[in-house]
Structures are given as C-alpha cells and as structure tokens.
C-alpha cells in the first residue's frame, strides 16, 4: 500500500487527506495547528513526523499551504522536502502560489532528480470533501501519470495543463480572477436588490434561469449570504492573495488590467477592515454596510 505524506491540514488539506485515509492509503500528516493534527489523527492519520522524516517513509508527499512563503519554507529550507528527498519520491504542491515559486522549486527538484508537480485545485471545501475537485497540473507528463491514481481519489476533473511547471498555476489564477469578479458582482448586485426591496430567494430562483446566473452566485448566496454565516470556505485573504498573483502575472506580460487592479484594491481594503479570515462571500456584508466583521 502506498504511503502518502500531507503537509498542511487546513480547510482543504484536512478533507483531502481524510479521503486518502478512507481510500486505504497510509497517510502521514503535519500542520502547525495542533487542533488540525488532532482531527487528522482521529480520522486514522499518522502524526509526529517532520517533513524530512516523511521523506524517509512516504512515496508521495502533498502540500496544501496558505502562502508562497510557507511553500518556499517547506520545500526549500535546509532539511526541507527537496533537501531531504531521494530520486523516486513524488512531491505535489496543491497550494496556489506565485508562479515563480513553482519554477524555483522545480529547479531545485530537478537538480536532485526528484519529480515535482505544481497542481493547484478548484472546487473549494465542498469539492475537497466530495472528491469533486478540479486539478490543474503543470509538470513532466511522466510524473503526472504517476500522480493520476492518487489524484483520481481526490478529484473528478484532473487536467495536465502542460509540461511547463507553472501552467496549472496560471490557469488557476485566471480562474480565481474570475471568482474575484463574480464575488464582487454578486455583492454589489445583491446589495442593490436588497435596497430595492426585492426578495433575495425569489431573485435567486429567477436569475438562476437567466443570464445573471453563475456558480459563484449560487455558492456565495446559497451557502453563505442566505444564512448570514461566513465561516470559510475560501477565506477573503486567500482570494486577495491570488488576485495579487494574477496581477503579477499580468505585469510580467506588460499587460495593464485596470478593472482587476480596482478589484484587488477592493479586497485589500476589505481585508484591512477585518474581513480577511471570513469566506470571500463576506464582501456582500461589507458592501451592504453591515458592521459585525
Ligand atoms: P488554510 O489556511 O485553511 O490551511 C492551511 C494550513 O496550513 C493551516 O492549517 C496552517 O496551519 C498550515 N500551515 C501553514 N504553514 C505551515 C507549515 N510551515 N507547516 C505545516 N502546516 C502549515 O488554507 P486552505 O483554505 O486549506 O488553502 C490551502 C491552499 O489551497 C491555499 O494555497 C489556497 O489558496 C488553496 N485553495 C483553497 C481553496 C478553498 O476553498 N479554501 C480552494 C482552492 C485552493
């Protein structure tokens, strides 16, 4: 039976690692947050192994981390994943990071003959729980083929974007740029609807069969706004991070995206006002003027 390491047991990593346990893999997990490790252990996971110790026992190691800095640290520090690895291991980062982080890790991994894939995901916590995630994978085709039996346990749509390591990340950032637009649009449109005395439930039913419909409208309204409960989900600060990476990508191509810049400023301001830890749909609460952030 394959042994799998999983570093980062947060909103996404915990359900993904639990699914691997349910699929009868031996799963070794670690997180800075001891409560997350306790939940993982309760589900049958093995804890107490550092990144270097996982390398000694695992065939494949996944990471699901909240920032480029955390990913850099776990992969590239002395005694980190790359430094401790031997050829034969497969490292898979499912985090959304700046494309240049994918490139730096690939260079380090190649110099040691290690397989590395940058495999960001879409589909949110619900997708992670229900194994319906979309994986957008960049990296060598042979490594992708090695990863497939495991990725198929975690997601419903597994794409090899190209051999270029950051191609999955570019795809994911474009996806999240659209998520940023839709989330802001839903927040402003529903604020206007409420002020116009429209019934938001009835509005949803009507727009759901009209061109105003979108998966993000459905997600943000049905799972968060309608219940006035904004526990993440996908935190607003993580979306702001991804919008920053998308703008960075545009800058590299010398593209000016003025509306995307305004969008980034909107999320940045919401984060500064204390909404960062809540689900991104909380933008509705900010725009509609509620004050319980
Ligand atoms: P999260 O903040 O809930 O989880 C990240 C976990 O990593 C936390 O439990 C944290 O304690 C842990 N961590 C941080 N630094 C660590 C370290 N050095 N060693 C071990 N653990 C460490 O974030 P999330 O929502 O699970 O997102 C994870 C990644 O997936 C992010 O890059 C995010 O952009 C991406 N993503 C999230 C969603 C979503 O809906 N939440 C969807 C798609 C992609």
Looking at ligand 1, which residue's alpha carbon is closest to its atom 15?
70
* H-only helix segments in 43-88: 51-57, 68-76, 81-84
Q: Which atom of ligand 1 is nearest to the CA of 96?
A: 32
Q: Tell the residue number behind the tokens 């776990």, with chain if given.
A: 74
Q: Is the ipTM of this complex over 0.90?
A: yes
Distance (Å, whole) CA 8 – CA 254: 34
Question: What's the gap in Å between 37 CA and the centre of ligand 1?
Answer: 13
Report yes or no: 28 and 5 within 8 Å, Cβ to Cβ: yes
Question: What's the gap in Å between 48 CA and the centre of ligand 1?
Answer: 19
Give residue-wise pLDDT tens across range 188-213.
999 999 999 999 999 999 999 999 99
Q: Cis check for the bond before 233: say yes or no (omega within 30 of 0).
A: yes
With cut-offs at 50, 70 and 90, classify the pLDDT of residue 286: very high
Distance (Å, whole) CA 201 – CA 271: 28
Q: What is the pLDDT, as a whole number, of residue 254? A: 97
Distance (Å, whole) CA 29 – CA 274: 31
Give residue-wise pLDDT tens across range 223-275.
999 999 999 889 999 999 999 999 999 999 999 999 999 999 999 999 999 99
Q: What is the pLDDT, as a whole number, of residue 126? A: 93
pTM: 0.94
- Ligand 1-lining residues (CB < 6 angstroms): 7-13, 30-33, 36, 64-66, 70, 73-74, 95-96, 121-122, 124-125, 234, 238
E-assigned strand segments in the chain: 3-7, 26-30, 60-63, 90-93, 115-118, 121-122, 133-138, 155-162
Question: In order of start, what are the domains of the chain with their CATH numbers?
Answer: 3-163 (3.40.50.720), 170-288 (1.10.1040.10)
| 172 labelled catalytic | yes
Give residue-wise pLDDT tens across range 92-113.
999 999 999 999 999 999 999 9
Mutational test site, ligand 1, from 6, 7, 9, 12, max ligand atoms within 8 Å of CB: 12
Question: What's the gap in Å between 195 CA and the centre of ligand 1?
Answer: 36
Q: What is the pLDDT, as a whole number, of residue 293? A: 44
Give residue-wise pLDDT tens across range 6-37.
999 999 999 999 999 999 999 999 999 999 99
Active-site residue among 3, 18, 34, 172?
Answer: 172
With cut-offs at 50, 70 and 90, classify the pLDDT of residue 1: low
Angle CA(18)–CA(29)–CA(147) in degrees, nearest 5?
70
Helices (H) and strands (E) in the chain, counts: 14, 8
Looking at ligand 1, which residue's alpha carbon is closest to its atom 42?
124
Q: What is the pLDDT, as a whole number, of residue 292? A: 45
Give residue-wise pLDDT tens across range 36-47.
999 999 999 999
Report yes or no: 156 and 126 within 8 Å, Cβ to Cβ: no
Give residue-wise pLDDT tens across range 142-180.
999 999 999 999 999 999 999 999 999 999 999 999 999
Question: What's the gap in Å between 27 CA and the centre of ligand 1?
Answer: 18
Q: What is the pLDDT, as a whole number, of residue 290? A: 64
* H-only helix segments in 136-166: 141-154
> Per-residue pLDDT averaged across 68-80, rounded?
96
Give residue-wise pLDDT tens across range 52-64.
999 999 999 999 9
Q: Would you say residue 136 has pLDDT above 80?
A: yes
Q: Which atom of ligand 1 is nearest to the CA of 33?
A: 11
Q: Would you say residue 291 has pLDDT above 50?
A: no
Looking at ligand 1, which residue's alpha carbon is closest to its atom 41?
234
Report yes or no: 135 and 159 within 8 Å, Cβ to Cβ: yes
Q: Which atom of ligand 1 is nearest to the CA of 122?
A: 43
Question: What's the gap in Å between 193 CA and the centre of ligand 1?
Answer: 34
């Amino acid at each position: 039976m394959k042994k799998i390491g999983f570093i980062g047991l947060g909103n996404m990593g915990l359900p993904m690692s639990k699914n691997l346990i349910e699929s009868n893999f031996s799963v070794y997990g670690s997180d800075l947050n001891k409560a997350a490790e306790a939940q993982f252990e309760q589900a049958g996971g093995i804890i107490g192994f550092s990144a270097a110790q996982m390398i000694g026992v695992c065939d494949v190691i996944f990471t699901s981390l909240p920032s480029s800095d955390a990913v850099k640290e776990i992969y590239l520090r002395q005694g980190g994943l790359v430094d401790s690895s031997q050829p034969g291991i497969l490292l898979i980062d499912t985090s959304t990071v700046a494309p240049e982080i994918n490139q730096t890790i690939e260079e380090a991994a190649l110099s040691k003959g290690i397989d590395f894939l940058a495999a960001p995901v879409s589909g949110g916590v619900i997708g992670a729980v229900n194994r319906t995630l979309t994986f957008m994978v960049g990296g060598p085709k042979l490594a992708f083929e090695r990863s497939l039996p495991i990725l198929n346990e975690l997601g419903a749509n597994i794409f090899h974007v190209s051999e270029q390591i950051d191609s999955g990340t570019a795809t994911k950032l474009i996806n999240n740029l659209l998520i940023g637009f839709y989330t802001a649009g839903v927040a402003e449109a529903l604020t206007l609807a409420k002020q116009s005395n429209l019934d938001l439930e009835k509005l949803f039913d009507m727009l759901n069969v009209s061109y105003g419909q979108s998966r993000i409208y459905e997600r943000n309204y049905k799972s968060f706004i309608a219940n006035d409960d904004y526990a993440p989900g996908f935190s607003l600060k993580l979306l702001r991070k991804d919008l920053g990476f998308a703008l960075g990508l545009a800058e590299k191509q010398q593209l000016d995206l003025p509306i995307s810049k305004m969008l980034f400023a909107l999320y940045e301001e919401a984060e500064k006002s204390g909404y960062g830890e809540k689900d991104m749909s909380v933008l509705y609460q900010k725009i509609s003027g509620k004050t319980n952030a």
